[in-house]
Amino acid sequence: MGTIPTLREIPSAARIRILLICPDCGQENVEFADRIRGARTYPCRGEGCDFRFDLLSPPRKSLARGLAEAWRKFYAALIPAG
């Protein structure tokens, strides 16, 4: 069982780094979390790449996730509560 980390062991938000990999050019964009916090978009730094990361949109639902969620709701309606 792990121990509770001390205050010095917990990384501050200013030191947390985020890695964004561009789906267009494959460029790895590393940025500190405090710099992109609150931003709507983040531009790719790849040479000649115009891709912008959309930081505020929720993750897209895949067909499998949507189907699994529908099945869970269906079975939850069939099983009596209690």
Q: What does the pLDDT read at residue 2?
A: 59
Instruction: Find the domain containing 62 and state its range.
Output: 17-78
- Whether 24 maps to a domain, the answer reads yes
Report the distance separating Cα 24 and Cα 53, nearest Å.
11
Model confidence, pTM:
0.52
- Whether 1 maps to a domain, the answer reads no
Q: Which of 14, 9, 10, 23 has the alpha carbon at shortest distance from 52?
A: 23
- Which of 27-31, 45-49, 74-78 bottoms out in mean pLDDT, i.e. has the lowest? 74-78
Report the distance separating Cα 10 and Cα 79, nearest Å.
43
Q: What is the pLDDT of residues 7-28, one digit of tens each?
A: 555 555 557 888 999 999 999 9
- Whether 23 maps to a domain, the answer reads yes
- Whether 34 maps to a domain, the answer reads yes
Main-chain dihedrals φ then ψ at residue 37, nearest 5 degrees: -65, 130
- Whether 71 maps to a domain, the answer reads yes
Number of domains in the chain: 1
- Whether 32 maps to a domain, the answer reads yes
- Whether 5 maps to a domain, the answer reads no
pLDDT higher for 31 or 11?
31
